[in-house]
Amino acid sequence: MTTPITPIENTNNIRYADFIKVVTSGGTYYFSTAPSSITVSGIGTFDGLGQLVSIGKIQRDIKSTANQTSITLNGIDTAMLGWALGQNIKGSQLTMWKGFFNPDGTLITSGGTGGLYQYFYGFIDTFQIAETWNEEVRQYSGVINVSAANIQMILQNRQAGRFTNNASWQFYTPNDTSMARVSTIATIYYPFGKQ
């Protein structure tokens, strides 16, 4: 039985934030759409980036479906864009949660994992880095946009099996020579049906 989240019952004023965890080869990064940093037990401390983070649309079905989403980080110092390129963002693990707040602005920690409800788990498949000109402050700021596919989409698009060539066959069984003549046979033309 699920426990209802009291502050979102019988109201049209729902306060929530998205919490994002990115695991790259260079480290683990936590940030959220909340206006200040929040420590969530069992997960970590999320930097509050507020409106500098926007989350794309995600298909939300009752059953698990293959889908993808995007995340945009705005207002990044252009000196940090080179650092972002060196982090091997593509292929990084991405986990996203929703967290709900009381009317006084504190995170509701009952339910979920430390109060957070996971709604996306996948990996980053593409990313873009750009600079935009801000006329008000007369300087450039960086924008990073990543696109991620959930784990079900990745499994749906995977390739199974192995190739029927000698190199692939010997990768799994080094002494097997059953495919040694495949490359020779592939180049032979047999004139079937001719007399």
pLDDT digits (tens, 9 = 90+) for 22-44: 998 888 999 999 988 999 988 99
Provide the pLDDT for residue 182.
81
Distance in angstroms (rounded) separating the CA atoms of residues 74 and 142: 6
Indicate the length of the chain as a whole number.
195
DSSP letters for 83-152 = HHHTT--TT-EEEEEEEEB-TTSPBP-SSTBTTEEEEEEEEEEEEEEEEEEETTTTEEEEEEEEEEEEHH
Provide the pLDDT for residue 60.
64
Specify whether 179 is located in the same domain as 145.
no
Query: To the nearest 5 percent, what fractions of the chain are helix, strand and coil?
Result: 15, 40, 45
Query: Tokens for 127?
Result: 């990313």
Specify whether 182 is located in the same domain as 133.
no
Provide the pLDDT for residue 1.
44
Looking at per-residue confidence, does 46 or 132 come out higher?
46
Specify whether 120 is located in the same domain as 52.
yes
| Alpha-carbon distances of 132 from 40, 75, 80, 161, rounded to whole Å | 33, 9, 14, 45
Specify whether 108 is located in the same domain as 184.
no
* Cβ count within 10 A of residue 181: 10
| Alpha-carbon distances of 56 from 116, 146, 160, 187, rounded to whole Å | 19, 10, 31, 50
Confidence of residue 46 (pLDDT cuts 50, 70, 90): very high
Specify whether 194 is located in the same domain as 114.
no
Residue 35: give the domain boundaries.
6-156
Distance in angstroms (rounded) separating the CA atoms of residues 44 and 36: 14
At 55-96, the pLDDT tens digits run 887 766 655 666 788 888 888 877 778 777 777 788 889 999
Distance in angstroms (rounded) separating the CA atoms of residues 162 and 164: 7
Spacing of C-alpha 57 from chain mean position: 13
Specify whether 194 is located in the same domain as 151.
no
Q: Which residues have CB under 8 Å from 191's CB, separation 6+?
A: none
- Is residue 116 domain-resident? yes
Provide the pLDDT for residue 30.
93
Provide the pLDDT for residue 95.
92
**Number of domains comprising the chain:** 2
Distance in angstroms (rounded) separating the CA atoms of residues 188 and 195: 18
Specify whether 64 is located in the same domain as 144.
yes
Query: Tokens for 42?
Result: 């069992």
